[in-house]
Each structure stands twice: as C-alpha cells, then as structure tokens.
Structure 1
Amino acid sequence: MKTTIKALLWLVADLFVASVVAQPSPKLPPRMNSSQTDKIVLYQIYTRLFGNLNTTNKFYGTRDENGTGKFNDITDTALKELKKFGISHVWYTGVIEHATMTDYSAYGILKDNPYVVKGIAGSPYAIKDYYDVNPDLAVDVRHRMAEFEALVARSHKANLKVLIDFVPNHVARQYTSDVKPEGVKDFGEEDQRDQAFHPQNNFYYLPDRKFSVPDNVPVPPGIATVPYEEFPAKATGNDVFSAKPSINDWFETVKLNYGVDYLNHRRKHFNPIPNTWLKMRDILLYWAAKGVDGFRCDMAEMVPFEFWGWVIPEVKKVNPDLIFVAEIYNPAEYRNYLFNGKFDYLYDKVGLYDSLRRLMEGHGHTADITRVWQQESGDFANRMVRFLENHDEHRIASKYFAKNPFYAIPAMVVSATLHSGPLMLYFGQEVGVTPTVAEGFSGDDGRTTMFDYWGVPEYQAWVNGGKFDGGKLNEEQKKLRGFYADLLALVNGSDAVRNGAFYDLQYANNNGQRAGYNAAKHYAYLRHTDKQKLLIVCNFDLQNGMQTTVSIPAHAWETMGLSPTGKYSLKEIFHHPQTMTVEATTGVPVMMSENSVRIFEIKVPK
C-alpha cells in the first residue's frame, strides 16, 4: 500500500511540474531596450586595484606605500584580453569621487575628516562629489576627468560596454562638489535644517542635536585628526535616525531624502517632484553624456521605486540602450522594481547565489535551485544577474567560503546557463584570488578590501607587468582561468544558452527513481531552441562521483519538438569529447567525477 501511495504521489508531482514547465510566459511590460540580448557577461573591475603592481601590501598602507591602480593602467591590451576572454560589459567600481584620508587639497579638493572615512583610501560608496572622479585613479590629478573619458573611449574601441556605480541612497558626510556645472546646487545647500523632514529637503535632520562619531572609530597610524563637527546631525545612510550611530552602521554616510517621511509611517510626498529626484536625474544625464552605457545602482531598494519609475525613462530618452542594474535583496520587491521601477536587471543574491553557496560549502540541496526557477520562471528569470563573487561577498577560495576556487565549477555553470539572463564575474575570480590577511579597515574577512590601498597578488600574476597574458600564473591558476574561458565561450556561442527555454529534469530523476542519482547533490536540466538542444548535468558532491542514467520524460522531448520514442545522438561539448546514441525511452547514461559538469548537445542522427 505504501509503495502504491508513493507512486501515485510521484505521478501527481510529475504532472504538476510538467504543467508548470509547459506554461506559456505571461505578457510582461516591454523593456525600453528590449532589442538587446539579456545574456550579457559583466566583469566587475575594482578600478583602484586592477592595475596596481605594487607588492608592498602593508596593513593600513598609504597610497604612496601600497600604490594604487590608475585609469591608464586599463590599457588597450588589457581590454582586448578581457573581450577575448568573453566579456561584453565592464563595471568600473569606484569611479565617482568619494571620501578618502588621502590629502588632495593641493588640487582644490576638500580634505576629509578621518573620523568619517572608512579605510585610508575610503569607501567608493561614500560619494563626495557626484560630478567628479576619484583622484586616486588619475596619473595627472588636474586632468582626471579626461583620463576617465579616455578609458571609456578605449573600452568602446574594444567593443566593451561601460557601467559605473550610481549611489543614490546616501552621500559622504562632508559632501561638497568643487566641479559641479554652473547653476547646480549642492545637496543640502537650500535645505530647511530646522525641520526633521521636509519633502524638498535633500537630507533628514535631527534638529538641535549635534552629531557624535561612533565609539572606537579606527584611525590608522600617522593620520592627523581634528574633531568632526556636524550640526544639526543628519540621519545616517542605512536609515539610522540617531545623532550617534554605531561603528557597525554606515556612519560615514548621510541618508538622502526622496520625499519619504520615515518617522511618520513612511508617508510619501512625491507631488511636487522632490528636489532630490531632480538633482539625481541631472547627475545620471551628466554621466550618460560622458558615454557611460549603464549604471549599477547601489542599494536601489532603499530608494522608492516611484523615483526609479520616473528617472529611468527620463534618462533613457537620451539613450534608450542604457541599462540599469539594481542591487536589491528583498525578493518581495523584485517585480515592483522591475516593472514599476523600470530596472533592466536585478541582483540575484538571495535566490541563486545563496542556494549555490550552500552547495559549494557542502551542505546545500539542489531543490533550492528548482525553487529559484519556479519563483522566477516566465516572469523575470532573464533579468536576474547571476554571480558568485562581487566586492561585497567573500572570495570563493577564502576560508570563509568554499576554500577551493575549483569548487565553483558546477555552480558557475548553473549561474551561466540556467537562464538567458546576465552573468557577472568579479576581477580575479577566474584566477582564484584568496585574501588571507587583514588589509586595513575591514580586517581579515575573506574579501578583497574595499577601503584601503592594496595589491592583489593573483591578479598581478595575470597582469604580468602590463602584458595581461597570465605569464606569472601558476599551473592551477591557468587551469582555473581555462575553465572560465571555456564557460564564457559556451555562453557566447550557444544559441540554447543565450536564447533558449529551460526545462528542469529533477522531478523525473529524484528520490530513488534513478539508481545513482542523488537528489541532494545532482542537478540536471535542458536548455533548448529550434536550433540547439542541450542536456546539462551537474554533480555538486565534493567527494563522490556519480554513475546513473538521466531520465528525460516524454513531456520534455515533446517540449523540445522531438519524438519521445526517437533515437538521438548526444555529443559532449564541454571538456569531455564523447558522442553516444541513446533511445529517448531509456535515458542518458552518465558517469561523472566529483564536483564536475557534463554538457551534451542533442541531435537527430542523419
């Protein structure tokens, strides 16, 4: 009786999943740049670190001690190699001028108080002047903007699109623009500072209260200090309405006011259009005029979606092909920010990243991947940016994550091929960057420093003195980079990956239905178009190989436009040259090593 009930339950489950897979996609609001492919490959470059060949790496080292990369270090050769690697878009992180402990007052740039700066170099998300670029990145500080514009031109010459950060939620506590265009007013310049909230104020205030620096703010040795004065105190960037935020808050930043009264039930005051909206539109238009092709929008969900729904169409009037990527961590708001906020793409951190990370660490379950596509399928899967590293997350190879960069192989393949949306890599991911020591403000945290001057040894080995040929990489690093190169070649060359439909095969293979198939560690799926059909099988087990027969049910064959009783040729197209002929009704025999992937192209034999 138990066996019969179990069989019936699995039959019902099969029919349900098959019906979900077969559902046509609902009609969604058209995107303003919908003619572009969604399968872009975005490469995040931490600009200050990219070309720095200094190997001193002193804890809390100054610019002159540890060195800093420049715009000019990202040469034609470097960009050509990135394009050859398979990159379509580069995201230059840390371009816009931000607060720093390095003194540039000789160039007319206000010196920042170290009590409201994180790290000697400073955080790229504490913007000090929206109309200027980071002077650290210029060979000649006086011509820093021209050097950035030349980088944009070089990037375009290499057929690469350029994204920069747009940081809309907060600014540095000492925000002052010294190069703003004529007629532009600084943030807060015309605020009514005696009011905690006013719809046309740029900041939130705590009237009659003086700002207090958090306890134990670290100031590196050799940095001169003077007391920091701010009156009245302003609300802190992470929505902290306290005159004394904690050391764990974004204390170095000030929250911007988009017309939301946070302390009065978050009431919205959007008519007339708030002054902050207008200022931000002008800033985006300023950078669009510099030739920038898109914006990665920092903590976009902390800014009301109504602003985005207004400003993105405004900016796209100038260039409809501009793309906007939202950093967002609340799945309940995904649809809102896509369809009402008009974003092109969203971060997929809470969904796929978290699911794959658990598998890479040895304690996840592939059912989490199925849940991700079920939540997104037919709605916005192609608009989620998949990644395993960025500046906020632990490096894969660090002791805080997988400890081995090769453990990313199945997860990267899933990130790249699950759907037709964007893929993102963080510079050095492909050579196994492994932070092992404290670099400055952030300490030993498994991340490449955001806040301090540093050289990245593994990446320096690829840069190889400016040759950008990987000449100093060891054999393991070359092997790892070879995997990423092969994966990007697949992403860029496969019609099924770039444009195809998706079919999850878990329901046909799980829970002992197939001998040798581990429901927790094995994951199989199809990607298919009229031109190409792929079977992708991933083994996330870090210790054990697998030998099984992957079932492709009749419904899946029919969905691909093939006979469920036919005979097909399967050709391996990823690392294991093999061709076999299989009967649709008997499944596909697969043998794999631990932590590996096999990808077969399905063809009708001639």
Structure 2
Amino acid sequence: MRNWIQIFTILVLAAVTTMACQRETEQNLEELAMQEQHKIVVYQVFTRLFGNTNSTNKPWGTIEENGVGKFSDFSDQALEEIKKLGVSHIWYTGIPHHAVIRDYTAYDISDDDPDVVKGRAGSPYAVKDYYQVNPDLADDPAKRMEEFEALIARTHRHGMKVIIDIVPNHVARKYEGKNNPDGIKDFGADDDTSVAYKRDNNFYYIPGKDFKVPEPLDGYKPLGGEKHPLANGEFDESPAKWTGNGSREAQPHFHDWYETVKVNYGVKPDGSMDFPQLPAEYAEKDYKAHFEFWKDKDVPDSWKKFRDIALFWTKKGVDGFRFDMAEMVPVEFWSFMNSAIKTENPASFLLAEIYNPNAYRDYIHLGKMDYLYDKVELYDTLKNIIQQKGSTDNLAPIQTGLSDISAHMLHFLENHDEQRIASPEFAGNPNKAKPAAVVSATIDAGPMMIYFGQEVGEPGAEDAGFGSPSRTSIFDYIGVPHHQRWMNEGKFDGGKLSNEEKELRDFYSRLLTFTLHSPALGGEYMEIHSYNRENTEWYNDKVFSFARWADGQRLIIVSNFDPKDSFGFELQLPRDLVSKWKLQDGEYPLEERLYGSINPKLIVENRTAKIRVDLEPLESWILELK
C-alpha cells in the first residue's frame, strides 16, 4: 500500500512539475515575443457580433431570430488566426454589463426600459453594472464572469493582451450595481438629490422636475414598434438627472445621449473645479510621482468609484482600457486614475478617445495616458484623400505638428463609430484604403488599430434597427456577412471568402505582421514628400513618401493613393537623409517588404540619391535598404 502511495505521490509531483515548466516555457516565449515587438497592433472586435453565424438579419430581430456571439466563440483557432493577422492586443468591445432588452430576471437582473435603451441589444456605452459582464455573451449567464475570465486566459495563452472599455463620463439611466465588491456603494446611493450639485454626489440633478422621454424623430419607435410592457413613452426618474452629453434638460433631445446620465467629477455647473489642482510641473513627472501626489488628497467620490472599477478589472487580468470620451472628464481625474492603474500594472495599455487637439498634451503628460485617438488629424485627412477630396500635401504638416507626441497617437481607418471603408458613404471599395493603411501603420511609433471585418472588406450594409447602414450596428443583434464568410461556421479559416476578400486579408496580414516586428518603425522619421514635390518630375499630390530608420534597419515608404492612374518617377532622398544614413557613392540593393515582388536599387552619386519608382494604382512599396 505504501509503495502505491509513494508512486502516486511521485506521479502527482511529476505532473505538477511538468505543468509548472510548461507555464514557465509559455511565459518565456511570450516575454521573448514581446522583446522582439516594436509596435502595438490592436484588433478591435465587437464581442457580441464576432462569433454570430446567424445570417437572418431581421431589423430589430431578437437573439432567437438574429443570433448573438459568445465568449466561447473566441476559440483557440479563432485567437490563433487573429494572432497570425499581426495582432498584439485585442480590444473586446462591449464587455461590462450594459442595458439590454431581454428578460434576465431569472439571474437577478432587472428588465431595462426600451424608452431609454438604444436598439434591442443596447449600447455598450450605457453601462448598467461595472462589476459584471454582459449576460448576452455567456453560454450560461449564471457563470458569465467565469466565462470572461476564461477568455482572458485564452487570449493570454495566444500571446495577446486584453483591452476593455471603461466609460467614466456617463452610466446607463438605470444603473444597478448588484455585484459590487464588499464595501463599495452603488453610484448615487449617498447623493443629495435636493440640489443640482454637490461635490460628492455621483450625478447632477434637476430638482423639482421629473425626467421625460425625448420626443421621437422621423417616426422612430422603440423596438421598431413592437409591443413591450415598458415601452410606453415613460421612464421613472425623479428628480431628473443631467444627460450623458451634458444636457441639463429634464426632457433631453432625441439626439442627446438620453439613455445615459452624466457622472459628476467635482466640476461645478459653472465649470469651476471643486478638487485639488495638479501642479503644472507634474507634466514632467512619471506615474509614480502622480500616485504619491494623490495619496493624501481628498477627492470627489466618483473618482474613487471609477478607480476601484479599473483596479477590479486589472486584478482579473485585463491588460488595459479604452476610455470613452475621455476629454469630457477632467484631466486631474485621469492623473489620479491612471497612476493607480500603472501602480498595479506598469505595463497597462491606456487609450483615450479624444477629439480636441489642443488638449492632447495635457491628457498625455498630466493625465498619464499612453495613447490617444488620432482621429481629427490623420484619420480625417486620410479619409478626404481616399475620397479624392484632399491632397497628400496635407499629411506632412500633421506629423510635424505631432512630432513631440507622435508615439502616443493611435491610428485607425475603422472603428465602431466610423463608417466602414467599403460602404458607399465612405469609399465603396475597401482596396481604396490600402495606401492609407500603409501610411497609418508605418508613419510613426504609435499603435495601429483595425476593426474586425475591415480586413475582409465588410461594408456595414445591414439595416439592424436603431441607426442607419454604413456602420456595423452596435445597438442590435445582427450578423456581419463578410466577416461570417471568413469565420466559416466556426472554422475561422476564410473558407467562404471570395478571392478578392482573401487578397485583402492577406494584405493586412502582411502589413501588420511586418509593422509589429520592424525596429525602424520604433525609430526616426523624415518625410521626403515635400522635397520630391519640389524637385521630382511626375511626383504629385496623389503620392506620399517618407523614411523610417533605427539601428539595423532603414526604410523608404512610398504610396500611391490614386485608384486609377499609375505613376513613374525618380524618387529622391534629401541630402540631409543621405548624410544621416552615411551613404557613399554607389548602388544599394533594396528589398520590398510588403510583397517582395520588386527589387529596385538606390543609386547615390555626389550626395544625390535616387530610386526608380513605378507604382500601380493604390500600390505601396516598403523598401528596406540592405
């Protein structure tokens, strides 16, 4: 008997040792991969749409009619294919429990009112409970948190980081924190509702007035007019609260964010600040100094509530956050919040949705954001060029203006708020964005982001219910047809894609994989476009070019944005660049790194350097000097 016990003990110890070694090996491989990585590539996925194989697409359809994706749809195969695309971080959009029109009362979740919910599936930015996840996404809603924790672990096993949304500016009109950890009170629990403002109130109030549902526009009816016991044009809120976008009317406008309420951060109704000010010199200090600054400060209650929310998710293994409408929340709060997150996880990824260029540097240096949306400048300019409404001459000044913070700017051509490239309202053809994708991904050290379905040309053509086509719906249950063809009934092998769709995905895979591991893209930048506009015959404002370099790699990148015409010219390198690269007279071989189909030469003579370039319509070359 003793021998069997000894044998059993040895086997158990061996198994434990093997598992420990395996975990250590996986950890070492992940660390090695991260050491080799020079850029961040974010894949934004709308979680409830990703794995849905249902193609019914009935406007305002229910889960039973239109289907819904689950956490479990992100299988090992799916995650491996996302990884192969050249992705380092997955932004799982729509994770925190938001208001939905579905009966989950069996799970102690109250029904939501269609009069204050956009769509049937609800907006992911009207969060109802920050300490729980969307029950729609779980195979078993009773175990929805465990299922999300398993997804975090699976994502990490495939060497990718996990990002989720936090929306500090506003919460759902019917917020109910039923899963708060011990000691954490719900939003508004201690508010004095008799006054419009009080520093430690979580919300702003309109004393003496009850909330009224907005007057509908253009024949709008909740749920498309379907009968529902709560869809009666009324919602009980007394006194009324300010609406999420700042409306102070008891009856907000239909175009206001009427499904949400504004969170109070200690900003008085007159705009003055009711909290400690962060000294200007803290722009030069690291997150540790910011954390120390706030340790003994008395701050508004909402600050502490959102800090606790962020740390709750950080402890669960979430690697970072995308902060919705960050500029609507004071920068001092971000210093407080982000320094607490960084103290818990110094490698955390902190991204701010922000549209005010005048505030960029404050949110980076004082607010301790890692990255900001580069929507207003690079995205908007590239969209104009793609639509043939603008000139590539407008690109160079953008990078010059952002030169001190360019590594903090996240670039994209699609996200859940923007029109799909392939939609008629944007370009009508996803290939028209190829040169813009190359420029976005390579122009600086900032991260590149793509939105799921972008890589196969998804046009967002469905009439899902709330809202109109051109953007894939974030409010309703819907299938995403082009993406579904790549998903191929859960095989995730692209088996149903057309040849054109396969080619587009191959393009993104080549581009993103290259950028992820290119040392030059973490290094220096020089635009050579302006020099060639002045000195090179046939070089025009449909073309854009620049150089990137770091120790061990020198790149010349040139893109043709014209969808119809080819261009041939002798691309010239400015003498400053020839000097920086220490180029002597002679011929230098160049390797094209995107497709490798051409191998031109750089010819240097008397400090003049030229490359013969012949670009097809929408073609880009990423040339590496050997």
Fold-level similarity (TM above 0.5) = yes
* Shift, 1:193, TM fit: 0.5
* Shift, 1:572, TM fit: 2.2
Picking from 247, 250, 260, the partner of 1:253 is 260
Q: Does 1:553 align with 2:558?
A: no
Hey, what's the Cα distance between the residues in 2 that align with 1:36 and 1:389? 27
Q: 1:37 to 1:493 in 2, by over 3 A?
A: closer
After alignment, is 224-233 or 125-134 more displaced? 224-233
Q: Does 1:281 align with 2:336?
A: no
State the one-letter code of the partner of 1:223. H
Conservation of the 8 A alpha-carbon contact between 2:39 and 2:517: no
Please list, as runs of the form range in 1=range in 2, the aligned pairs for 1:192-271 lying within 5 A after superposition: 192-216=192-216, 218-220=221-223, 221-224=226-229, 225-226=231-232, 227-261=234-268, 263-270=269-276
State the one-letter code of the partner of 1:530. D
* SS, match of residue 594 in structure 2: coil
Aligned to 1:593: 616
Hey, what's the Cα distance between the residues in 2 that align with 1:268 and 1:562? 59
Picking from 455, 462, 466, the partner of 1:441 is 466
State the one-letter code of the partner of 1:455. G
Aligned to 2:492: 468
Aligned to 2:536: 514
State the one-letter code of the partner of 2:558. V
Hey, what's the Cα distance between the residues in 2 that align with 1:182 and 1:112? 25
Conservation of the 8 A alpha-carbon contact between 1:325 and 1:345: yes
Please list, as runs of the form range in 1=range in 2, the aligned pairs for 1:110-121 lying within 5 A after superposition: 110-121=110-121
Aligned to 1:538: 559
Aligned to 1:40: 40
Hey, what's the Cα distance between the residues in 1 that align with 2:406 and 2:609? 31
* Shift, 1:440, TM fit: 0.8
* SS, match of residue 466 in structure 1: coil
Q: Does 1:417 align with 2:422?
A: no
| C-alpha distance after superposition, 1:503-557 (max 9, x if no partner) | 100221114x311111x21111111112111111111112211011111121111
Please list, as runs of the form range in 1=range in 2, the aligned pairs for 1:20-31 lying within 5 A after superposition: none
Picking from 342, 364, 388, the partner of 1:338 is 364
| TM-score, normalised relative to structure 1 | 0.91
* Shift, 1:362, TM fit: 1.1
Aligned to 1:10: none
Q: Does 1:495 align with 2:519?
A: yes
| TM-score, normalised relative to structure 2 | 0.88
Aligned to 1:528: 549
Hey, what's the Cα distance between the residues in 1 that align with 2:35 and 2:259? 41
Picking from 542, 560, 567, the partner of 2:587 is 567
* SS, match of residue 222 in structure 1: coil
After alignment, is 214-223 or 193-202 more displaced? 214-223
Please list, as runs of the form range in 1=range in 2, the aligned pairs for 1:167-206 lying within 5 A after superposition: 167-206=167-206
After alignment, is 124-133 or 579-588 more displaced? 579-588
* Shift, 1:236, TM fit: 0.4
Hey, what's the Cα distance between the residues in 2 that align with 1:555 and 1:62? 62
Aligned to 1:87: 87
State the one-letter code of the partner of 1:491. T
Q: 1:182 to 1:265 in 2, by over 3 A?
A: closer
Please list, as runs of the form range in 1=range in 2, the aligned pairs for 1:61-100 lying within 5 A after superposition: 61-100=61-100
Hey, what's the Cα distance between the residues in 2 that align with 1:493 and 1:253? 41
* SS, match of residue 49 in structure 2: helix
Conservation of the 8 A alpha-carbon contact between 2:420 and 2:471: yes
Hey, what's the Cα distance between the residues in 2 that align with 1:476 and 1:415? 22
| C-alpha distance after superposition, 1:474-522 (max 9, x if no partner) | 111001101101101211232212x2211100221114x311111x211
Picking from 357, 382, 388, the partner of 2:407 is 382
* Shift, 1:311, TM fit: 1.3
| C-alpha distance after superposition, 1:226-246 (max 9, x if no partner) | 431111110000011111111
Hey, what's the Cα distance between the residues in 2 that align with 1:273 and 1:460? 48
Hey, what's the Cα distance between the residues in 1 that align with 2:599 and 2:65? 56
Identity over the aligned pairs, expressed in percent? 48
* Shift, 1:582, TM fit: 3.3
* Shift, 1:602, TM fit: 1.5
Hey, what's the Cα distance between the residues in 1 that align with 2:517 and 2:38? 14
After alignment, is 310-319 or 36-45 more displaced? 36-45
State the one-letter code of the partner of 2:533. N
After alignment, is 565-574 or 172-181 more displaced? 565-574
* Shift, 1:137, TM fit: 0.2
After alignment, is 188-197 or 367-376 more displaced? 367-376
Hey, what's the Cα distance between the residues in 1 that align with 2:271 and 2:402? 31
* Shift, 1:577, TM fit: 2.4
* Shift, 1:296, TM fit: 0.5
| C-alpha distance after superposition, 1:438-466 (max 9, x if no partner) | 2110123x000010000111111111111
| C-alpha distance after superposition, 1:212-263 (max 9, x if no partner) | 11011621213332431111110000011111111101000000000001x3
Hey, what's the Cα distance between the residues in 2 that align with 1:129 and 1:561? 59
Hey, what's the Cα distance between the residues in 1 that align with 2:247 and 2:581? 53
Hey, what's the Cα distance between the residues in 2 that align with 1:181 and 1:265? 33
| C-alpha distance after superposition, 1:120-177 (max 9, x if no partner) | 0000000000001000001101000000000001001111100000111000001001
After alignment, is 342-351 or 571-580 more displaced? 571-580
Aligned to 2:377: 351
State the one-letter code of the partner of 1:222. K
Please list, as runs of the form range in 1=range in 2, the aligned pairs for 1:121-136 lying within 5 A after superposition: 121-136=121-136
* Shift, 1:267, TM fit: 3.4
Number of aligned residue pairs: give it. 563
Conservation of the 8 A alpha-carbon contact between 1:395 and 1:435: yes
* Shift, 1:289, TM fit: 0.9
* SS, match of residue 425 in structure 1: strand
* Shift, 1:566, TM fit: 4.4
Conservation of the 8 A alpha-carbon contact between 1:496 and 1:532: yes
Please list, as runs of the form range in 1=range in 2, the aligned pairs for 1:141-156 lying within 5 A after superposition: 141-156=141-156
* SS, match of residue 341 in structure 2: helix
Picking from 387, 392, 395, the partner of 1:369 is 395
